[in-house]
A = this chain, B = another copy of it.
Amino acid sequence: MQKSLSVYDSDGSTFAPLVVIELVSETKEEAIAWLLNRVRDKQQDGGAELLVEQLTPGAQGTEKDNPNVYVVGASWQRLLYGAEDVGLFKEFNDGSMRGFTYANKHNFKEFQGDGDGFLSMAECQYIIKHELDNLRAKDEAHVPGYPKMKLYPGKSVIRRMQSKGILVQVFPLHEKEELKRLSFSWFKKIKLSFQPLDDIRHYFGEGMALYFGFLEYFTLALIPMALIGIPYYLFDWEDYDKFTVFAGFNLVWCTVILELWKRLSASLAYGWGTLSRKKAFEEPRPGFHGVLGVNPVTGRAEPLYSNAKRQLRIYLVSVPFVLLCLYLSLYVMMIYFDMEGWALMIHDEEPTFWTGLLLFIPSIIYAVVIEIMNLIYRYAAEFLTGWENHRLESTFQNHLVLKVLVFNFFNCFASLFYIAFVMQDMVLLRQSLATLLITSQILNQIMEAFLPYWLQRRRNKKAHKRMIKTMEDKELPLSEQVKLEADMSTYLGTFDDYLELFLLFGYVSLFSCVYPLAAVLVVLNNVTEVYSDAFKMCKVFKRPFSEPAANIGVWQLAFEAMSVIAVVTNCALIGMSPKVKSYFPESETQLILWVVGFEHFLLASKFILTFVIPDVPKHIQIKLSRLEFESLEALKKRLRLKMAAHAVRSKVEENRSHLAGQLPSSKIP
């Protein structure tokens, strides 16, 4: 834990600041005082029992600075109890991973002395966020000073203030020293090496580390494909028969890598203690609203919103909206084909170098338009899913992912499917695929790393310059650091990063058999992606709260769905290849039946493989079973002791009544 920065507690003792709370500058005094008291109150009085202090503005503090910035920390013991509360898993003395308990703390491997360094700063920040989120209203009817900001017993105070807009943001602080080390080992080294996943997890948490792990795994898994693809390009192998071999390779490849990833991710998650960690009970998401009622599960007061109403909104508004967007996307695709035809016409009339270049223009424009449409749709989908008013963040995310995936898939691949299976023009397919892939890669890299970086530079050019200068200087005062970080952009989660990988996976697995260089391009893109993503996490964005995760969640499903579609597509492409056709000279029906039979066989094998390959490697399975067995045995032992005690007790009572019968007048103690 970072000890260099510290603020003084009200008792005069110091504490390490971990999390920053920013309220709007015109917040009423009584609301602030109430909030701070609630945060400081003892747990048995319903408080969070944390340490919180107002940030004293530094020397360069100006009038314009918001005075309502608070730093939150906690005593070491409070953090350890919090670790038990959030259900952290840590390595035990015997090498297995177990749920941390305060009483048992000395039996954990890394707990030495006072336990200094036992919890990473990211974990401490996660604990503080959890405790802040779980700070609940008692009998207050509203936030003091704001009669309209209704509260009811059990409502999360922080969430209410956030949804009503007096709480601007809550964010964890960066750790300068640690960040410098991490940046160096991650992306500042020249030599190519694996990413420091454990360090990433240590600093950013498991969710982020799994994303980078998956990115790296995906890149490595693509290398064999890229290597096979290169000779196709170098020797200009134009015949589709060699592509058939490539398509066959594709099929096996995409099934196997996804299965292996599940095992790898289980290994990583086990080592990080998130594999067997129980999911905490999920609270309603901040934006959820409804009539106050009683939750049937928790028995707590909570807004309720009828499921029927939500279904109506989904089926009567969202679904038609998505369909309309798909139609629009089709319409744009048709315009693209018109443009394509027009460019071809011009080129055919008088072919020059310039008209040859012109041939690529429609594809490039189309690629840009696709990216813009994806972007606009993304916002619309987010708005719409919010309006559907899902109770849980996880259901919200699932509905959002589903909406966005369907549209992006359609938007990016519809034209390719049309070219491949309706126009059956393999040359155009290849050209289209190449242009789409390259353009979208370039656009993505610009949009996701350099644009935010440039925007931020422009926004606070001066402050940034100062930061750059003083970043090297260890003695940057706390107030300055907080101010700088508060102005950084907020990282919105791994959604867009995964989406990008998903689309790249689509380009590679669906059509790369007609453009084997796709894998090479994707590998190159992923290598730069690692660097740009690492750069943006360390330099561009506020530190995000770490998110415990045991796997990549709904994305595993999305990638698997894509690989099923890839089987169908590749089989169809194989069936269309002239060489395969030549095996069935008389009857096209025979050909199709064979291809369909082959495809069914592949799909069946795929599902069987998914069943047969265990999702968790055996050595981890054994460790998990051992823990389970031990807890069962402990239960039984306790039961046996109880039985023995019971037996002794009834024996004693029997004797006593026996004695009492013999000596009716004597008192037996």
Contacts and interface: CB of A to CB of B under 8 A. Distances in A.
A62 interface: no
Interface in A56-88: 77, 81, 84-85
A583 interface: no
A181 interface: no
A589 B589 CA distance: 6
A43 B643 contact: yes
Given A622-B296, A625-B297, A626-B297, A85 B644 contact: no
Contacts of A644: 42-44
A242 interface: no
A44 B639 CA distance: 11
A625 B636 CA distance: 26
A276 to B, nearest CB: 15
Interface in A582-599: 588-589, 592-593, 596
A646 interface: yes
A632 interface: yes
A555 to B, nearest CB: 15
B600 A568 contact: yes
Contact of A592 (B42, B81, B298, B592): B592
Interface string A381-396: 0000000000000000
Copies, count: 2
A639 B589 contact: no
A647 interface: yes
Contacts of A296: 622, 626
Contact of A629 (B42, B281, B643): B281
Interface of A: 42-44, 49, 77, 81, 84-85, 102-103, 278, 280-281, 296-299, 568, 588-589, 592-593, 596, 600, 622, 625-626, 628-629, 632, 636, 639-640, 642-644, 646-647
B592 A642 contact: no
B647 A42 contact: yes
A636 B85 contact: yes
A640 B44 contact: yes
15 contacts: A49-B643, A77-B646, A81-B639, A81-B642, A81-B643, A84-B639, A102-B642, A280-B632, A296-B626, A297-B626, A298-B629, A299-B626, A589-B589, A589-B592, A592-B592
Nearest to A650: B77
Contacts of A629: 281, 297-298
Contacts of A643: 43-44, 49, 81
Contacts of A44: 640, 643-644
A593 B568 CA distance: 13
A626 B295 CA distance: 10
Contacts of A626: 296-299
B281 A632 contact: yes
A20 to B, nearest CB: 25
Nearest to A568: B600
Contact of A622 (B280, B281, B297, B636): B297
Contacts of A299: 626
A625 B632 CA distance: 22
Contacts of A593: 592
Given A296-B626, A297-B622, 15 more contacts: A42-B644, A44-B640, A44-B643, A49-B643, A85-B636, A102-B642, A281-B628, A281-B629, A296-B622, A297-B625, A297-B629, A588-B589, A589-B589, A589-B592, A592-B596
Contacts of A642: 81, 102-103
Contacts of A622: 296-297
Contacts of A589: 588-589, 592
Nearest to A565: B604
Interchain residue pairs A-B with the least CB separation, the first 3: A297-B625, A297-B626, A44-B644
A33 to B, nearest CB: 24
A296 B95 CA distance: 14
A644 B600 CA distance: 63
A622 B296 CA distance: 7
A281 B631 CA distance: 11
Contacts of A281: 628-629, 632
B640 A43 contact: yes
A644 B593 CA distance: 73
A470 to B, nearest CB: 40
A590 to B, nearest CB: 10
A336 to B, nearest CB: 25
A632 B280 CA distance: 8
Given A42-B647, A281-B632, A593-B592, A85 B297 contact: no
A567 to B, nearest CB: 11
Nearest to A85: B639
Contacts of A43: 640, 643-644
A629 B282 CA distance: 10
Contacts of A298: 626, 629
A84 B636 CA distance: 9
Nearest to A296: B622
A278 B628 CA distance: 11
A634 to B, nearest CB: 12
A70 to B, nearest CB: 23
A111 to B, nearest CB: 17
A631 to B, nearest CB: 10
